Amino acid sequence: MMDRPRSPEARPVTGGPRFHFFGYYDKTPWDTSGTRLLCLESTFMDRRPVPDDVAAVGYADLADGCRFVPVGETRAWNWQQGCMLQWVPGSDDEIVFNDRDGGRFVARVLNVRTRASRTLPLPVYGLSPNGRDAVSLNFSRLFDLRPGYGYAGVPDAGADDPCPADDGVWHLDLATGAYRLLFSLRDARALAGPGGAVEDGPKDQHRFNHAQWAPDGSRFAVLHRWGPPGGRWRTRLLTFGPGGEDPFVLSDHEMVSHYDWRDGSHLLAWARRQEVGDRYFLFADRSDAMPVVIGEGALTVDGHCSYSPDRRWILTDTYPDREGFRTLLLFDPRSGRRVDIGRFHGPTPPDGEIRCDLHPRWNRDGTAVCIDSIHDGGARQVYVIDVSEVTK
């Protein structure tokens, strides 16, 4: 069942002459008060960032005319995922984001009220809900293999090794800065799944991407990808206990794309199954049970999916259609109801790494979402959409 009510207004909360965006879809940019919305500010948007390009780190003050308040800067960012800018769970004022410090990538923990800061020895990817445990990935390797998801400026020490034993998913303690390797890329290649062992070729390069914690912090997930440079890659979805223990191959049927945890034991993912093809599936973690198709006939294409804070609604978007429009929509898995809440024009440029995906993100009570978009005059800015009439 599909509803097409009058689309709610997409209200800009940033504006020119500079460009603004947040990045990926799996983190909320709103603080606990709902008045400060994190984002980055750039002087350009028509090319990839190079090592000396600086983006301002700050927030739109929604209680003060959406004024952009700069609090720091970063030299470790990209158009797809920003600099992993996010609020530290449990804090009203601390944020964390990635930066480059000399010849290494680091994370900065910054108090936006006092401006006190400290530096951590590894960049962050995802933060546990406990506000202390973080997972880190190799952004230099990501840059070499898919630049839109890594950072320029630091060579990958393991670039000559297609599947390193000393690189992979790292644990980082936000309080002490202590870090350790949890699971290597070589460990991942050796980990057999329901479909058997990994089959890779001599030119295939392995990498991890998109690490995310379950909402209760009991486990985290990561995408394991491999393939020849510039060629087609294969993807598996792996899950782990918080210390890297109990690894599990949740899906290894060639393709897994965007995903989100519904709860501590279930994940929604756009994936491929030989039985039915490409669909959104709900997987039960640490189970070989057949995943359940979600949104048959309503959720028909890949998008950046996430559950509302009350886990009732799925928010997702689409890539551009033939006319260059991206659709933003909500879906209720219980009733099968789909509600389209907007269409935004934003064709993909020749260099797809600088495209502006909507990457929709929830606020903390599920009444609003925000997007990055270029639909209004072609300038990349951040917009907020009130969805309370749908999600109430």
Per residue in 152-164, pLDDT (tens digit) is 999 999 999 999 9
367 inside domain: no
pLDDT value at residue 1: 61
Same domain membership, residue 312 and residue 284:
no
Asked if residue 24 is part of any domain, the answer here is no
Lookup result for tokens 């909360």: 13
Quick check: is 36 in a domain? no
- Phi then psi for residue 196, to 5 deg, are 105, -160
Residues 126 and 247 in one domain: yes
Residues 290 and 202 in one domain: yes
pLDDT of 345: 96
- Residues 178 and 208 both lie in one domain: yes
pLDDT for residue 253: 74
Asked if 37 contacts 62 with a C-beta cutoff of 8 angstroms, the reply is yes
Q: Is the pTM of this model over 0.75?
A: yes
214/287 same-domain check: yes
**321 and 200 within one domain:** no
Residue 60 forms part of a structural domain: no
Residues 6+ apart with CB under 8 A from 358: 304, 317, 326, 328, 344, 346, 371, 372, 373
- 162 lies in which domain range? 121-259+272-294
**Helix H or strand E encompassing 239:** strand 234-240
CB atoms under 10 Å from CB of 222, counted, come to 25
Residue with tokens 């070729």: 201
Q: Which residue has the tokens 């009058």?
A: 6
The domain tally of the chain equals 2
* One domain, residues 221 and 282: yes
Is there a domain that residue 83 lies in?
no
Verify that 300 and 289 share a domain, yes or no: no
Q: How many CA atoms lie within 13 A of 352 on its CB side?
A: 4
| Rounded Cα–Cα distance for residues 119 and 111 (Å) | 12
Residue 1 lies in a domain: no
Are 209 and 284 members of one domain? yes
pLDDT of residue 231: 87
Q: Which two tokens stand for residue 55?
A: 């983006």
* Residue 6: predicted pLDDT: 60
Instruction: For the chain, 392 residues long, give each residue's pLDDT as a single digit of tens.
Output: 666 556 789 999 999 999 999 999 999 999 999 999 999 999 999 999 999 999 999 999 999 999 999 999 999 999 999 999 999 999 999 999 999 998 999 999 999 999 999 999 999 999 999 999 999 999 999 999 999 999 999 999 999 999 999 999 999 999 999 999 999 999 999 999 988 889 999 999 999 999 999 999 999 999 999 999 888 999 999 999 999 999 999 998 779 999 999 999 999 999 999 889 999 999 999 999 999 999 999 999 999 999 999 999 999 999 999 999 999 999 999 999 999 999 999 989 999 999 999 999 999 999 999 999 999 999 999 999 999 999 98
245 half-sphere exposure, CB direction, 13 A CA radius: 3
382 within a domain of the structure (yes/no): no
User: Is residue 97 included in any domain, yes or no?
Assistant: no
Q: Is the same domain home to 167 and 152?
A: yes
163 and 310 housed in the same domain: no
Instruction: Tell me: do 146 and 191 sit in the same domain.
Output: yes
In the prediction, which pLDDT does 2 show?
61
What is the 3-class SS of 183-195, one letter each residue? EEHHHHHHCCECC
Sign of CA dihedral 183, 186, 187, 193: positive
106 token code pair: 């680091």
